[in-house]
Structures are given as structure tokens and as C-alpha cells.
Structure 1
Amino acid sequence: MTSTTITQKIKGIATCFMCRAVMKHPVSISCGHSYCSCCLRDFCNRRVGYSRPSTYNCPLCLEPINLNTVRDNKQLERLVELIKEIEETEDELLCEAHEEQLQLFCEDDGQLICWRCERALQHQGHTTQLVEDVYQGYKEKLEQAARNLNQLQEECTDQIVWVTTQINEWKQEIEIRKQKIKSDFKSLRTFLREEEKLYLWRLEKEEEQMLRRLRESQANLQQKSRELKDQIQELEEKCQSSAQNLLQDVKGTLSRTCAVKLEAPEVFSLEVQTACDVAELYLDVKAMLRRHQVGVTLDPDTAHPHLYLSKDRRQVSRGYSQQNLEVSSRRFTAFPCVLGCEGFTSGRHYFEVDVGEGTAWDVGVCMENVERGLGMKQEPELGFWAIRLCPENGYAALTSPPTALELQEQPLVVGIVLDYEAGTVSFYNMTTGSHIFTFPKASFSDTLRPFFQVYQYSPLFLPSCNE
């Protein structure tokens, strides 16, 4: 039978039935059973809480307990102390080569050795000392290392608080800027509401990018904090353990802890880059829109045979079918439409169409590869973003189904704004500078070109940027 098995049997004898642990201050009762003094006291107190019994019964054999006969069990208490001594002896490390107690410490190799190792060739000439003689010195070094790590931990905690404060300040600054933008744009009604959405989108992107960087810094500091806590716990456990455990690889432990450094987190500028002075920038709607104006000319290769283009390709009208036109797969054949020569694949662009007092027209933008024959349908899902005036139904946005537009004044000049990245196409009455309609946000993936459909007696004219 092994010593471990014997120890377990002895522990079984000294285990308290109530708490299932080795007894503390064991006492014996009249029936001969023993318990921890505190467990027996708590047992009796709980019984009093239910009622006031005249007698108490042993939890094991249910025999009546005479509290006057409860006595300390000295022999059992000595057995408990012996169990502790055995466990401490079992915890001591033995030399793997000689199975002797590791009572010496080799300063040259930083190892625990036994007396036989000291005489071996490997350690001849080395400085060796008794474990008891070097224990206190290395314990103090480990404690100092733990204090250093604790200081780094405190600095790390302070930096976490600082970064957290930055995050809160940044979010507050973003919120303040949002509210100011909202307030300013609200005062300029519908037009500014569309511009407000665009600027808020940019601001939120800026917020998202900065918060991501700040949170990465925060996460790095928190990870460093966890590592420091683990190392501190390791040092504290070593300091609380036996001399042999403390000195086991003590130099390596000290070397690792001394190498720990805390890098200061990256300092970010918390100045919001997205700025918008609404009163200064947008009080003149026409001037704002024309900052993005591009000159547009008409592409004759796309024009329906019933359309006539001026020599400068800025005016188009409808008449009779033209003969001997160059055959082109790019030409509209189902409806009297024509495209602008300019193609847009990014950025923000604005152009104007002088519709005059015409009674019918379609203006807007479309994808480069839209259907131009009998299957052509003017819907956003098929690559068209346009508005229309027709005698029967008045103004409408060519959504699916069409959206009726109630305009207070007739537009003589229609302004068209394309924001490719934002995915928006907006229309304005440049006679009054008022907003007409903005299509729901889309995701553009192809070249967009100006689009026009021309009706009888309603010619369209494209002003140059200087007009």
C-alpha cells in the first residue's frame, strides 16, 4: 500500500461528517463521534432556530447528545496536525537524479540541487548555499519585482481611464457636433435636410474610424493589464509557497518580470475634421450647387432618330425621323431619348437643364448599359433615376411605382446633383433654389451619364458652366 493511500485513509478518519473537510478543533460527543467544534455549534444553533428542543441528536447515529459531556479530542487534533505535516513533506521537491532533498541552491546555474549533485562534476567550483540561507534574499527580490509590476499595473489602469475618458469626450464632441448640424440644417428646410444627411454620414464615418482606433488602444491596454495581473499572481503564489518552490527557476522568473515594459498608448487628436458652417456655406443654394457644376454636351451616337441636336450639342428638339443616320447599337430606338457625353464613376457632380416652359420632359441620369430598345423601362432597378413632366399627370419621380410631386412653382431650369459615393441623385428647382426630390440611396457600380427624353414642342437646352 502506497504512502499516499495511507494518508488518504488517515484523512478519511479525521474528516468531519458535517463539512466534509479535515476537522478543525475536533470535539467528541457522548456517543463517541467527533466533529469540528464550529460545525457542532452551528448544528445546535440551527436546531434552536427551528424550535427549542430538549435534546440534540448525533447527525451520524441519531443518539442523544449531552452537551455537558462534549470534550476536546486531543488525540484526533494531533492526528490532524500529523496529516498537515505529511502533506507538507509530500510537497517538498526531490532531486530527479538522486531522489534526495533539494537542500542546496547553485548560484552559478540558478538551480536547486542535492548534496550529491554538489559533489558531481557538473557543479564543481560553483558557489552553492543552503536553501535557508538564500531564501530570504530571493524572496525580497521577487517581492520587489511584484511591487514594480504593481506600479506598472497602476499606470496601466490610469491609462485605461485616460483612454476611456478620451472615448467619452470624443463621443460627446461628436454628439454636440451632430446636434449643431441638425439645428442649422433644420432652419434651411428641405434642401438643407438632404445636405444634413450627407454631412452626418461623413461625421459618423469619422466617428467610427476614430472610435475603432481608440478601442484598439483600449483593448491593448486591457490585454496588458491582464498579463500583468497574471504575472503578479504568479509572483505572489511563489512568495507564499515553500522555499524550494520559490527558488525553482527563480532567476528566469526575475528575468522575465524585469523585462516587462509598459508602452504609452498612442495619442490621437480629438479634433473633429468634419466641419460645416451651414449659414456660411449654404445660405446661397444656387452658389453651393454650382461649386460642383460640370459642363454637359449631348452624344449624337445615342440620339433617337426623331431628335435634332444643335451644332454645339447643347440643345435638342424633336421633329421628324432623320434619314441616313449612322447605325449605332448605342442609339435609343424605342423612345426619343439622348445621353450626355460625360460619364461619372465617382465624386459629386451637378449639371443644369433649361426646360423652359415646355409641357413635357424627362431629365436625370442613367447607367451606361441601360436597355435602349423595346424593353426599356425607366425605373431605378433598371438603371434610371429621372423625374418627368407630362400634361396628364404633372410632375413625377420615376420610381417604381412613380411618385407624384407637388411643386409650388414651375421650374424653368432643373438642377441635377449626383453623389456617386453616397448613392444619391437629387433634383432642384433652380428658378427658386428649392429642393424637388431625392431618390432613395442606391449602390452605383457602373458609369452614370446624363439622360434626357424629349417631347414635341418642348426642346431642352444645356447651359454651360459660365451661364
Structure 2
Amino acid sequence: MAAVGRVRSEDQFLCSICLDVFTDPVTTSCGHNFCKSCISEHWRVNVPYQCPMCKEVFNLKPQLKINTFISEMVVQFRHEAQHEPNIYSSDQQAAKPGEVPCDVCTEPKLKALKSCLVCLTSYCQTHLEPHRTVPALKRHQLIHPVENLEDRMCRKHDKPLELFCKTDHTCICHHCTYSDHKGHDVTPLKDEHEEQKPKLKKTEAEIQQMIQERRLKIQEIQRSVKLSENAADRETAEGVEVFTALIESVQRGLDQLLEKIQEKQRSTEKQAEDFIKELEQEICELEKRSTEVKQLSGSEDHLHFVQRFTCVKAAPSMKTWTKVSVRPPSYEGTVERAVSELEDKLREDMKKVVKAELKRVQQYEVDLTLDPDTAYPYLILSDDGKQVHDGDEKRNLPNKPQRFSDFCCILAKQSFSSGRFYFDVQVKGKTKWDLGVARESINRKGEIRLRPQFGYWTIRLRNGNEYDACAGPPVRLSVKSGLQKVGVFVDYEEGLVSFYDVGSSVLIYSFIGCCFNDKLLPYFSPCTNAGGTNSAPLIITPVDTDFTVKSRVKALERSFRRPAFLEKLVIYLLS
């Protein structure tokens, strides 16, 4: 009850201009009370002189004097307010961080209940009361408490932003309609709010859909990471198994090599020991004869001398050591033979280990068909779209944008912008061809330059036996004669394009570190017939499972043949 009484008492001492307790209260002739400074400032700005409450007009500026009665009541009220511990109702609380405080309260500032767009002030329940009781203030626009009320005022005219200009999509005041926004499509903010509010639901739905899409993408990425992790664990386990077997094989080969060398050394040492023992025995016998010779030479017994001289003079039965020697054993070819035996063993082991891995690679085979809309007009395609050759005569075909106009080539219908893919092409009987992949955006009219910087990753055959990788400048390739089938493998994310000799199971060449920022299409060029010497077609063929296994095995075998590779393994095992 004390709180209610206090609110009623305070209402009687509020200035309707500043909405605060009177300071030096004065009374106009019409009977209304104001702070002296407030009414003086009001009349200084507004002429003619008018009462802010009842709008009565005074011809002359009234002489204002302090109302002593009200002044004393104000003093008494302030005194009571300072000594009253609970001066506010229980629902009024001090403003917390993040809440809008009352602009009128002194410390502590209470939480604002409303903000006035006319006064540009936020009020607590107590200081808001005049806006609920005073007729002039009741017309003010109250909103939920907000900060920075000055942002709701037109910076140019210092008036509330109450309109929305649809022409310029901005909030304006009434004065703006007579200046910068004159003639524009203008509507009250309330109407624009009602018009835009239904659209907000659609926007919210779109935002929620975008959130859901991104959450699904996160799940997709997480699944991809999990699959990658599982694949990495699987590859790690297989890699450890392969290289453990490799290290064991190399260790066994090294042990056998060292055993052979030591065996030769032991044989040499045994031979030397036998020779030395035999020589020492002969030296012992010769030393005995030497002693006898010395004794005989000092004998004066003529009979004894003559009898013993014949025995001493006789040559002993001993070996001739002039041509006898101990030569160090020859180790020439020992290491080479050991490495060769190791290669044979590794060949057998790797065929067993790699087979499972190569089966997974085969899953990247794709079924390709040639695209007749891209074919050079001289090319002839088979009905199934798997073969192409030069027909010697130009056909009357529409000059479509995707058709090659000046170069004897064609693309596949299928394109790839991610992942991995593999295909085989038969080149048997040809003396000239180009194969590989190309960007979808390549230039197909006029001269073509087969280089990665122009969107081509290819290899080629010229003159029947000259193979090059079109890497700019070309790289001469070492390829055995009789190449009949070429395998092409692409890993889009890794930027890898590899070419295989299917028949001999050899990696021909790899483009690595490629930057693919466009769709890729398989590229084929059977080249011209060259008078019939190059009339055989290029043929897209199914993958031969047996070849795939052999190819990977051969590639690994070549790695094991490298001296530097074996040297590092030996150093590792001896360290």
C-alpha cells in the first residue's frame, strides 16, 4: 500500500515537460504547474506564449514566480523518498546488463517499461505514469523499450521516422516527402510492417531450409571423413603387411648373402691354415737336417763323416711351394645374384598381396560411348559408339559449337567433375594416335594444342614407335614395341592422370598435381589414315581383370628393382 501511495503522491509533483519532480515550481495564470526552467525554455522557443497543458494563449509573456506551497511539498516529498526503503512496486527492478534503463531515474536506474518515440526517452513504470494520465502525453507513440532512440529520428529533419519509401527502400520522416523523396511511393511504417510480416515467414522457412541443408552437408562431410578414415586404416594395415613381408624378404636375402660371403671367407681361412700347418712341419724337418749338417761339419771322424754325408746330402721329399698361394675369393656378381634372387621372390610374394588391392581399383571402370556431335567431320563411328577411325572423306555434318572443326578427334559423351574413373582403349595396328582427357571448356575450333595449360592431358604415338607425353614440352616415353591396349586412369581430387600399357602391365606416364576446375571428358584421336597405314580404329574395350592385377604387380616389381630403393632397405636393416 505504501508503494501505491507513493506513486499517487509523485504524480502530483511531476513537471509535464521534463516528466521529473518539480524544480523551482511555478504556476501559470491558467493554473498549471511547471519547472521554472522548463516553461521558460518552452516559451523561448515557442511564440506565441501558450500553456503546454491546456493550450491557452497569452498575449504577453507571463511573469513567473515560485509557487512556495508546491515547492515546500516537493521538498517534503523528496525527503520522504530518500528515507523510504521500498519506494517502488515489487515488479520494478534495477536494469540489468543488456536491458534498457529508464532515462529519467537517478542511480540506480530502473528497468524501462516503455520508450516514447516523441520524447525519445525510455521510462520506468513510475516515470511513465504521466504518459498514461496527461491528455497531451497520451497522444505520444509508446513502444517496447529500445536503446539508441536517436537512430529512430531523421538525421536531416530531426523528426521521427514514421514512413517507408518503397522507391528508395529506406525509412523517412514526413518532411522527407517534401524534399529528397518528393513524388516517391511512400507508405506508413505500420502498413509496410503489415505487408512485410507475412514475407518474413517465407524468409524464415527459407533460412530453416538452408540450415537443414547445411546440417545435412555436415553429416555428409562427416560420413566422408569416416569413410576416408576407414579406408586409411585399411590401406595402412595392408601397407604394413606388404612392407613387413618386403622387409622380411630383404632381411632373408641379406642374411643369405652374408652367409655366402662368410662361407667363402671360412673356406679361404681353412685352406690357409692347412698350408701353414704343412709348411711348419717341413720347416721342422729342415731344422733337424740343419742341426745334423752343423754337427757333421765339426766332426774329425773321417769314417763317420763320409757315412753320414751321403744321407745328409740326399734331397728330402718335400713339396715345391713356388706356385702355391692363397688367393682371396672372388665376390664379383654375388650381390647382383642375391638381388636377382630377391626380385624373383618378391615377384611371387607381391602377386599374392596386390591382387586384393587391384580389385578395388577396378570399381572405377566406366562405360564410355563416343559423342558424334563432337566428331571431326572425317571420322567414322561404329553403331555402338565404341570405335572410331578416319574415313578419308569429309561428311556433310552441321557445324555445332561442340564439334571439332580442324583436328581429327572426338570426345566421349560422359563427363566427370569428381571422383575416379578408368577406361581401356585398343590401339592395335595403328602408327599414330592421341589419347587422354580434356576439359569440357576447350576450344574446338581451329588449331588445337595438346598441353595441360590448354586443357589437355594426353599421350601420343607418332611414326609407329615414337611415344610422347604431351606435357609442354613433350616428354619422350620408353614404351616397348607392340603396344596394343592403353589404360587411362583419372583421380579428379588428387589431380592425377595415368596411362598404362595393358599388355605388358607397365605404367607409361602420369600427369601429377593437375588442377581440374572444369568437367573432364575422355579424348580420342585416331589421326588420319596416312595412305592406309593407320586405318585401324581406336576401340573402347571392357577392362581385362587379369591385366589389371598384372599391371600393378609389374609396377611394384619395377620399384623393387631400383638400386637406390634396395640400398635404403639394406641400410635400414643394418642400422
TM-score by length of structure 2 reads: 0.33
* Bigger radius of gyration among the two: 2
TM-score by length of structure 1 reads: 0.40
